[in-house]
Chain A
Amino acid sequence: MTTKEETRALHTPPMSNTKFDTTQSIKESYRPQSGVTQEDSNEGQGNGNSGSQSHCHNHVELSKEDIDREVNSIEQLPVELSKLIDLFINDLKQPKYVKPLTIIQLSSLFQNFYIKFDKASFQYLSTSHSNSNGTSNGNGGNNNNGNTDTNNSNNVNGNNNNLNGNGNGNGNSNDSQPAFLVARETLSSGLSGIFARSRSGSGSSLRRGRRSSSLFSVDSNNVQPLLSPEEIQKQLRTNELNNYKIDKFMSLCEREVFRRILEVGTSVASPSKEELVTRSNHQKKTFNVSSLFRNSPEFIEFDKVLYEKLHALSTMATQNKIDLVEFLRLPIGKNPDLESQEGFDGAKELLTNLVSHTIAPCEKIAVILKIHESMMFSQEMCNDDFLSMLVYYIIKVCPKNIFLNAQFIKLFRNKKKLVQQEMYALTNFEAALVFVEGLTFTDFIPSSQEKLTNSEKDILQTPVSNKISLPSPLKNSGAVNVDVTLHETHPEAMRSNSYDGFKYAFDTSLKNIFGKIRSYTPPVQPINLPRSSSTLSLEADKKISTSPTRAAVGSQPVTATPSSSTTTTATATATQLPEVWKKYKDRKFEDLKVSDMKEIFEIYQKLMG
């Protein structure tokens, strides 16, 4: 790490510092010309957000060559970051969910992972040079914990408190040490730094964008680093480049995650023979998104019915029963080439790419943007033109799994990046599908209607959405929310589901010990875990992972079919637990009396016996 980078850290006191006046903070990356004013504004204060939002502000001029050289040349993730993906995939593969995850739950796991990965990338870039300084890794991690957002300080979490203490202690030593040394120590990271950071990251994850303010913990009230405009400029450049690099890492991450999933398949450990067979038959090159949707059959059903409709419409158009050009009022006057074979071939290729030749959501959304680009015959095209052409091509080309692909992008594209034109293009695409989905034969002119066969009329009887209702993400996220709240209050307990059932009955310190023994699992959080059944997994846990019990519980796949027999077994056993045993499940440890604890211990013994 360069000296400038270290000094920049000194501009960034923790948000939790009461002396920190947020009104004084600069809300975006520095402008080149603001070097002087920035120093002024730093008197006695820091700037909370420096560098963190500069994805969107290009005040620092970076030439294309710079970006090419520094960013586009990156073709692989650094090992440290790649490891996070391994951990994530491993964790997804862990048979730890009692109920198969719905697609929406799965999506939130991914989104959380992206957030973590983003943070880890930032840390990696800001600290990759400082590792050689030989500062202790664990310490670095601890310090990072000290300055997490104020939200964090509300956590009932002994571990966190300890860390806070540590961080503060270090920060206060400013007086006696050269400032930059403290900064260096604070910044020291390595993987454990990243992990430790992630552990207590519940608060900071709320504020995705504000990286720097929460990542560095130095009480810089007494320090007035003097930077020359050149130094600031250089610093800004580094920040800006780092932001580009993070973007690059993020897209590599998305690719890598889904490539890896394609490799390992979507089923969880100990697959049945049947699955093995299908997997070996599985074309490695093509990624079928429907495998991810296995546990949300309504999506697959919707896709199927929509495809039937598309197919019927496509055939009707080919047989001239309906005039799509007229029906959709294609801007044929503005663009006579619209119906040409060339235009059709282009669209067909792109749509095929979308459904079969791309894997990662970021690749798929790029194709959708390309489709828009390819349709563009004038810079002044309004959305009537785009939408009608999009509907036209979708019907004409009639690609399979198109609905699932759109949903896949929506759910698994990094939300931070699914904005602006990406979001617009996806919305357009979805709108085109909604339009098709809602078409009924009565929408066509009477002369067309007369030509339709009965089966065609059947297919075009009602909108698909009348037949199949999809789970509303709103409702589902509500359910997730419940768990998340628990999660934030008892972060250590929630790291693994295995002792979920006991989490209220154990002291937090105990939890910490458990937590430390267990290997770190990245961003996965338990969702909708029926608490009653988790006692089973506790038992299994004690018997070390390979025992038969473990296997039985273990085969609860992340993406198992709902009818999976193991699921039923687990649920059945779970329901056999006497009701009395469950009465403590919602209690807080602090509220327990000695007699209660005794009873819990008895239950525990019975369970073990």
Chain B
Amino acid sequence: MNSSVTSIKLVLLGEAAVGKSSIVLRFVSNDFSENKEPTIGAAFLTQRVNIGEQTVKFEIWDTAGQERFASLAPMYYRNAQAALVVYDITKPQSFIKARHWVKELHEQASKGIVIALVGNKLDMIENGGERKVAKEEAEKLAEEEGLLFFETSAKSGENVNEVFLGIGEKIPIKKPGEQANEQSGLRITDDQRVDLTNSVNGPVRSAGCNC
């Protein structure tokens, strides 16, 4: 019997107005269950999802997309287990920015962070708008960098849940036994949550003995 809840900190990155928070709002409001946990607007949300036997609780952290705030992003993606890098398929500039984010995440975020590249505003194409970022181009980037890739429409909800389910599945699932024995690891359960960066928190935690 295994019904532990695993918390996943997921950070949203992408240029302003690409629809980061719309995607999340869609995901959260689509809902499988009532989401009664406290939120901070659409900037901080939580959502529980069942993946197989596991219950995954996404803690979704929005970052400011304005360029002037870009340098603050590391404060937000610190300790994140997953990242959603969002661009607008009708805005090539936003895809360039997405590339930057992917590169930065690989260089600076936690090792093993699961990154999903998401081209949003699919509905605009379907309504006759012009696609400016080829799907192939994004797929190529995803393949090179080992990312999950989705094209979504936050407006219609197309592919939105798949993004999160995909992330939940890709994050390594620990067997129950391992959880008891291992302190480290990307995946953290609620009772271990603060301890992602063992290098930082480890000493503090282990300082507990006060004989």
Tell me whether A438 and B71 are in contact (CB under 8 A). yes
Tell me whether A209 and B192 are in contact (CB under 8 A). yes
Say if the beta carbon of A53 comes within 8 Å of chain B.
Answer: yes
Tell me whether A387 and B200 are in contact (CB under 8 A). no
Closest residue of chain A to B46 (Cβ to Cβ) is A420
Tell me whether A382 and B194 are in contact (CB under 8 A). no
Tell me whether A484 and B206 are in contact (CB under 8 A). yes
Tell me whether B191 and A108 are in contact (CB under 8 A). no
Tell me whether B210 and A27 are in contact (CB under 8 A). no
Tell me whether A202 and B209 are in contact (CB under 8 A). yes
| Number of A positions contacting B (CB below 8 A) | 88
Tell me whether A206 and B72 are in contact (CB under 8 A). no
Closest residue of chain A to B176 (Cβ to Cβ) is A23
Among the 9-residue stretches B2-10, B98-106, B117-125, B143-151, the one with 4 or more Cβ atoms under 8 Å from chain A is B2-10
Tell me whether B203 and A209 are in contact (CB under 8 A). no
Q: Within the complex, which residue of A22, A202, A369 is in contact with B181, where a contact is CB–CB below 8 Å?
A: A22
Closest residue of chain A to B211 (Cβ to Cβ) is A491
B180-211 contacts to A (CB < 8 Å): 180-181, 183, 189-194, 199-211
Tell me the complex Cα distance, A31–B46, Å: 21
Whether A492 contacts B211 in the complex (CB less than 8 A), given A384-B64, A421-B38, comes out as yes
- C-beta contact mask, B163-176 vs A, less than 8 Å → 1, else 0? 00000000000011
Say if the beta carbon of B128 comes within 8 Å of chain A.
Answer: no
Q: Within the complex, which residue of A198, A210, A415 is in contact with B210, where a contact is CB–CB below 8 Å?
A: A198
Whether A431 contacts B76 in the complex (CB less than 8 A), given A28-B5, A116-B208, comes out as yes
Tell me whether B64 and A112 are in contact (CB under 8 A). no
Q: Within the complex, which residue of A206, A383, A477, A491 is in contact with B63, where a contact is CB–CB below 8 Å?
A: A383
Interface residues on B, range: 35 or more
Tell me the complex Cα distance, A376–B40, Å: 8
Contacts of B190 in A (CB 8 A): 53, 55-57, 209
Minimal beta-carbon separation of A389 from chain B (angstroms):
11
Tell me the complex Cα distance, A545–B187, Å: 50
Contacts of B42 in A (CB 8 A): 379-382
Q: Within the complex, which residue of A26, A208, A418 is in contact with B191, where a contact is CB–CB below 8 Å?
A: A208
Tell me whether A495 and B210 are in contact (CB under 8 A). yes
Say if the beta carbon of A241 comes within 8 Å of chain B.
Answer: no
- C-beta contact mask, B8-43 vs A, less than 8 Å → 1, else 0? 000000001000110001000000000001111111
Say if the beta carbon of A372 comes within 8 Å of chain B.
Answer: yes
Tell me whether B189 and A22 are in contact (CB under 8 A). no
Tell me the complex Cα distance, A27–B25, Å: 30
Tell me whether B176 and A25 are in contact (CB under 8 A). yes
Minimal beta-carbon separation of B146 from chain A (angstroms):
27
Interface centre among B61, B76, B194 (most CB of A within 10 A): B194
Tell me whether B211 and A202 are in contact (CB under 8 A). yes
Contacts of A434 in B (CB 8 A): 72, 75
Q: Within the complex, which residue of B46, B179, B210 is in contact with A116, where a contact is CB–CB below 8 Å?
A: B210
Tell me whether B207 and A480 are in contact (CB under 8 A). yes
Tell me the complex Cα distance, A478–B194, Å: 18
Minimal beta-carbon separation of A554 from chain B (angstroms):
21
Tell me the complex Cα distance, A435–B83, Å: 22
Minimal beta-carbon separation of A446 from chain B (angstroms):
17
Minimal beta-carbon separation of A583 from chain B (angstroms):
27
Closest residue of chain A to B19 (Cβ to Cβ) is A382
Contacts of A31 in B (CB 8 A): 3
Tell me whether B4 and A208 are in contact (CB under 8 A). no
Tell me whether B40 and A425 are in contact (CB under 8 A). yes
Tell me whether A210 and B191 are in contact (CB under 8 A). yes
Minimal beta-carbon separation of A59 from chain B (angstroms):
9
Minimal beta-carbon separation of A295 from chain B (angstroms):
18
Among the 9-residue stretches A122-130, A356-364, A518-526, A557-565, the one with 4 or more Cβ atoms under 8 Å from chain B is A518-526
Tell me whether B64 and A381 are in contact (CB under 8 A). no
Tell me the complex Cα distance, A10–B4, Å: 22
Tell me the complex Cα distance, A49–B190, Å: 12
A472-501 contacts to B (CB < 8 Å): 473-474, 477-478, 480-481, 484, 487-488, 491-492, 494-495
Say if the beta carbon of A568 comes within 8 Å of chain B.
Answer: no
Tell me whether B210 and A525 are in contact (CB under 8 A). yes
Tell me whether B180 and A25 are in contact (CB under 8 A). yes
A381-420 contacts to B (CB < 8 Å): 381-388, 415-416, 418-420
Minimal beta-carbon separation of B57 from chain A (angstroms):
8
Contacts of B205 in A (CB 8 A): 115, 205-206, 208
Closest residue of chain B to A213 (Cβ to Cβ) is B180
- C-beta contact mask, A500-513 vs B, less than 8 Å → 1, else 0? 00000000000000
Say if the beta carbon of B66 comes within 8 Å of chain A.
Answer: yes
Tell me the complex Cα distance, A26–B53, Å: 13
Tell me whether B194 and A206 are in contact (CB under 8 A). no
Closest residue of chain B to A109 (Cβ to Cβ) is B207
Contacts of B37 in A (CB 8 A): 420
Extra 4 A-B pairs, beta carbons < 8 Å, given A22-B177, A57-B5, A380-B42: A208-B205, A210-B191, A386-B40, A420-B38
Could you give 22 example pairs across A and B, Cβ below 8 Å?
A27-B176, A55-B190, A198-B211, A199-B211, A201-B209, A201-B210, A205-B207, A206-B183, A206-B205, A209-B192, A381-B41, A382-B62, A382-B64, A388-B66, A415-B204, A428-B43, A438-B71, A474-B199, A488-B206, A491-B209, A495-B211, A525-B207
Closest CB pairs A-B (n = 4): A209-B191, A205-B208, A202-B209, A491-B211
